[in-house]
Each structure stands twice: as C-alpha cells, then as structure tokens.
Chains A and B, each alone.
Chain A
Amino acid sequence: MAEIKFTTSLEHNIQVLKNIFKNDNTFITRIAKNKNGLICAICFFDGMVNNLAINQSIIRPIVSCYESKVTAETLAETIIQINDSVVQPDLNKMLSAMMYGDTVILTEGEDKPVVVNTKGFSVRSSSEPDNERVLRGPREGFTEAFMTNLSMIRRRLNDTRLKFSFSRMATHSQTAVCLCYLEGVTDEKLVKEIKKRLDKIDLDGILDANYIAECIRDEQNSPFPTLGTTERPDVVVAKLLEGRIAIITDGSPVVLTAPCILQECIQANDDYYLPVMQASLARIIRSFGIMLSIIIPALYIAILYYHAELLPTRMLLALAAAQKGVPLPPLWEIFTLLIVFEILKEAGTRTPGVIGSTMSIVGGLVLGQSAVSARLISAPAVIIVAIAAVTGLAAPKLQNAALYLRFILLVCSALFGLYGLVLGLSSVLLHLCALHSCSIPYLLNLLPRVNAHTEDRTIRISWRKMKNKRFIAERGKK
C-alpha cells in the first residue's frame, strides 16, 4: 500500500487521493458545501457503493447542516446518518475500506478522514448449491458476498460465543478472510494453529477459498481431503457445533472447515435431516459404493489375470467369450475406459447444461455401445468401468481420492494379482492411519484406537441417544 499523509488542507488531501487513483475512472470525488461554508469531499468508487445511501445519508445532511466548520468526530457522530461511520486515522485502512465499497469523507481543517459503510455492489442471490443438493433440509447456499455469508451463519447460531475474527490477506487483493468458531466449544489450540497457518500465507491474490486451503492443509500430497469444504451454511453451523473452525473467504461461496476426518467424507449433508434408519442405510450404501468404486477395476483385473479359478465356470466362459476378438488385453481396456470416462466427466463439467447432457449420451451410451459392437472393447470391461464410475458418485468428497486409488490399485493388481491388491489396500490403510488433519487423526471414530467417544459413527444415531455431540472438541481437550 502506498505511503500517504493527509494535512488539514482539504484541497491537498483530495489531490493526494487523486494522485493515488490517477487513471482510474471509477474513482469519484464529490464536493458538498452548505450555506455556511462547510466544505466536504465525498470520495468513493463508482459501482461499489449504494448511491441512495450517499445521497440521502451523507450529502443531504452535510448540505442541510448549519455548521461552518466541523471536526471529523462531529461529522461521523452527529451529521452523517449511517449506522457504520467512524473516524479512521490509519490511512491505509481507509484506502482498503474505500476500495471495498466504503465512502471516505474529507473535510476542511481536518487531517483525519471519516469512513462510512456504503457498500452497495451487486451480488448473486442465495440459491441451493448444485453440488450439495439435499432431499430434505435447508436449500440456502453461500454466495460470493462476504457479509451475507456471515449473516447466514449468525442467523442460525444465536450464541454470544460465536466469534468472527477478520483479517486481510494477499498483497494485492487484500482479501477479507474470516475465522469463525464457537468460543469454549472449539479447542483453543486449534484456533491458534489455524491462525498461525493463515498468518504464514504469502500470496499476491486470493480469489477463492482453495487458495487458502492449499496453503494451510495438512499432507499436501495426500489424495484424501484434509480440509472440509461446503457451500451450505447449515453444514458450517453443524461443524461449528462439533468444535470445528470455519474459514470464510470474501468472493468465494466455498467455506473451509477444519479439521476434516474421513468419517465426514462419507456423510451426506442431509444425513441429519432424514429419518435415522434411512440415513444409516444410505451411509452404509455410500461406504460400500466408494469401496466398490476403488476396488472393482483392480479386482476384475486380478481375478481375470491371476485367479480365474475363483470365477464360476459359466462366468469364466462368458468373460472369455466376451474377450474373443477384442484387440486390447483386459488391463488396457480398463485403463483406456477409465481415462475416457475421466475425460468425459471433465468435458461434461465444463460444458453448458444442455450440451453437457447430450455429450454424456453420445459419449457414454452411443460410443460405449458402438465400441462393444465393433469389438474394440469387451462388454464386461464397459460394465466394470461403469460400475466404478457410478458408485464413485456415492461419496463426492472422496472422488479425487477414488480416482487416484483406482489407478494405483489397478497397477498393483496387474502386477501381483490379489496379493498386489491387498498390498495396495494395506498401503492405503497405513497412509490413512498416519494422516492427520490439524492434529486430529483422520480415522477418528472409525478405528478403535482413535475412538472419540461419540456414538455417531458408521451408523447414524438419533439425536435423542447421542450424548456427545462435540467429539472434535472433546478430542482436542485430551
């Protein structure tokens, strides 16, 4: 930020600001005078402010007041009719505020500006996040507007212990970042640890929460998420109640939560909005689905290549018949199809809605069917990859991990059969055992040794029976 200094000369102060923002046509300075000779300069950025508020609550009171000379304090406290107006002696903070939609009022004979909250830039209205849809429960989602996002959390959590700790990050973007936690519920060490990590961030700009996530997350090379992400305020509040911390980034609808454990990757947002039995069953199916998605291509290759004796005779014959005339060996078939699927998925994500669905039909159905008919690939290989792809969608938070593990296990199986598969899975388990998120074991609640005395594990338990709802916090206190 530029070094600036104001004097008691209004003209000089205006010129200082104009010099700083020269060649910037959105910077506007409006001079307001009253009959008794009071002159004020109102500085703001076009498009960032609420014009009505400036006209009615700043210009009108100044023009209609009777003072010929006022101090900055008088101006802020008695003349300006806006709830948030302060004298800001720190000129760097004044500039930051002005660039973020606040209005600066300079007056003759004062070297301290008054900063008035007149933010009025347009923001997207709240809608249900596309990638976190629920069958039942709140439909509200975060937007790109920082304060709106905070209000969504505050509205759901009427607790004096709810804390929002602001800071500005990144050299150029000076992005507002808010650390949100429940004092007394969240472990203090965790708060300190996250603050320490945030302080170390040294970036030019932060345009999304992922900029921060990459800088502060544990185990950068792990395919498993060690920081939670959500676009839903109800999820953030639920996590705060469990003793987690939320990091809200200005300009991003994605809120980070820490720590993140494997258990929450298997949970769905509406687990707690559905009846216990339904949610528990869904949770079991999800766990099974993601395991199937990771293992099935590798298992198919292991059995086909090394352990054909495990197959019933009819199935072996059917598989052998399906392979007849196919130019590629099964391993390369699966490998190619998995890559094609990932390409289709990537292309589908980036393509607009209608074209996206057309492409899915052409890519998935027509191409797959034609390739099988032309005997370029075998039908069982298509089925296996389709199962892996569909079951992988059961736990969206683990999709990235599933993608990597699918390929790694496939190679292990192709090299050593079922032994390779078991070896690969054991290595994954070892990795998970060693993994921590903000000093909390990643397998918390899933393995006996890292049990946190909570009843809500693989099976969802009803609220009536749940005694310990703050397992993250309790764990932190140990």
Chain B
Amino acid sequence: MKKLLLLIICLLMLTGCQQTKNKRVELNQNAGQILPISALAIDKEDNLYKMTIESIRQDSLDGEVSPAYFSVKAENFSDLFYNADMMLASRLYLSHASIVIISEDIARFDIDNLVNSLIERPDARLTIRIAVAENSTPDEILQAPSVTDGIPGMALSSLLEKRTKDQTFSDFPMFRILDYRLNGRDIALPVLILSDDGHVSPKSNIIISSDGGVKYA
C-alpha cells in the first residue's frame, strides 16, 4: 500500500503542474461556458488600445457557424483582455484564435508588449499568426465582407498559412516573433490590404527591426 501511494505521488509529480487558470468547463452552463475566439484586431485610438474580438458560435448541430464581433478599449493590452472578459458571461477562450491583426504603429512600437500579454494567458497558443493592416484599420480588415468564407479570422489565417507554405511570405507565428525579438533580430510580418472591392489579400512583408524601424519586402 505504501509503495502504491509513493508511486501515485511520483506519478502526480511527473505529470507536471496543473494550470490553476485552466478551470473546468461545462459547455452547457453559461457561467463556465467558453466563448471560442477565432481572431483579434488591435488598433490604437486616442491613446487607447481598441481590440475587436471575433468570436464564433454555432447554435445547433445542423446550424451554420457564424462570427460575432465586439470591441473593448483599454490603456494597455492586459486590461484589454480583462475588459473583454468582464463583458462576457462566458469565458474568453483564445485557444482557437489563429490570427491577430494589428496596425503598423503597434507592430513597430508595441509588438513586444502584445506578445507578452498573449503569452500571459494560459489559453493562447504560441502559433497565433500576427499580421499588419495597411490602408485600413485592423477591424475593417477583419470584418471585410468578401473574406467571409465561414469565419473571416480562420479564413485569413488559412490564407496566410497557404502563402507561407509556398514561401511568398515569411512564416512568423508568435513563438518565432518572441524568439527573434529576444535575440535582437528583425522580424517580418505579413501585410494585409483591403482592396476597393472589399477583398482582403496579403500584399508584402513588413520587416521590423528591434528599434522600430520598418521596411517593406
């Protein structure tokens, strides 16, 4: 019995620490229900950060998957997520978020803070792609009607993935950005533009140096 107890304790240690923030979820209970997020669009307005959140919902098994949008404002990124959480009865769930669209300003001067804020969340994945919006605001890009092949955020992420696979664009998911920035190296983020007909497409890469300098490639 003693041996068994000892082994169970050892096994518990081996499995690592359970994330305290990873709370139990009941999918049919509003209080614990999770709200899957597919994409984020972050911009800066009047010295405040504005985050547009694209959540995805499906009301019944035979129903369509549809996106829903809401925006929050805050002075920093951590507060953005906190405010978004406070707005919802359910839990903001970033595990399925695949893309974050940011403005050029944020890309140049606040990318480190943004990455750090995302890393702080236990549910955010390190594979989230970050793209830069050009000629439109990030939320306009995210909500562009012509992209809506199901969920816009997911469609944009798939598009970028496809384009990085054929090496048209550099592949810079969040973990690589983090790695490059820690080593003081330049990062290359894809640039998304909104055409007159409302179509979103990747245009080029924006190369951001550690001091905030940019060049397009």
* A residues apposed to B, CB below 8 Å: 304-309, 313-314, 316-327, 329-330, 378-379, 416-417, 419, 422-423, 426-427, 430
Contact = CB atoms under 8 A, between A and B. Distances in A.
A448 B125 CA distance: 39
Contacts of B154: 313
B18 A320 contact: no
Interface string B56-74: 1111110101000000000
A319 B27 CA distance: 8
Contacts of B11: 422-423, 426
B7 interface: yes
Contacts of B123: 309
A321 B22 contact: no
A318 B18 contact: no
B24 interface: yes
A322 B34 CA distance: 14
A341 to B, nearest CB: 21
A272 to B, nearest CB: 37
Interface in B159-188: none
Contacts of A324: 28, 59-60
Given A306-B24, A309-B125, 8 more contacts: A305-B26, A308-B93, A314-B65, A317-B56, A321-B58, A321-B60, A321-B63, A330-B27
23 contacts: A308-B95, A309-B125, A313-B36, A313-B38, A313-B56, A313-B96, A316-B36, A317-B57, A318-B58, A321-B63, A324-B59, A324-B60, A325-B28, A326-B28, A329-B28, A329-B29, A330-B28, A416-B18, A417-B22, A419-B16, A419-B18, A423-B11, A427-B4
Contacts of A314: 65
Chain A binding surface, main DSSP class: helix
Interface in B109-138: 123, 125
B86 interface: no
A388 to B, nearest CB: 20
Closest 5 CB pairs of A and B: A309-B95, A323-B27, A323-B28, A321-B58, A317-B58
Contacts of B8: 423, 426-427
B34 A308 contact: yes
Contacts of A309: 95-96, 123, 125
Contact of B65 (A308, A317, A323, A423): A317
Given A313-B154, A316-B96, A416-B18, A379 B61 contact: yes
B58 A419 contact: no
Contact of B22 (A306, A327, A329): A306
Interface string B1-35: 00010011001100110100010111111000110
Interface centre among A314, A320, A423 (most CB of B within 10 A): A320
Given A309-B123, A309-B125, A317-B36, A422 B15 contact: yes
A308 B15 contact: no
B28 A423 contact: no
Contacts of B61: 318, 321-322, 379
A321 B29 CA distance: 12
A321 B95 contact: no
A329 B11 CA distance: 29
A316 to B, nearest CB: 6
A307 B22 CA distance: 8
Contacts of A427: 4, 8
A325 B59 CA distance: 10
Contacts of A325: 28
Contacts of A423: 8, 11-12, 15
Contacts of A327: 28
Nearest to B65: A317
Contacts of B28: 323-327, 329-330, 378
A27 to B, nearest CB: 56
A137 B33 CA distance: 55
Interface in B91-109: 93, 95-96
Contact of B7 (A304, A316, A422, A430): A430
Nearest to A425: B11
A320 B58 contact: yes
A337 to B, nearest CB: 15
A306 B57 contact: no
A30 to B, nearest CB: 65
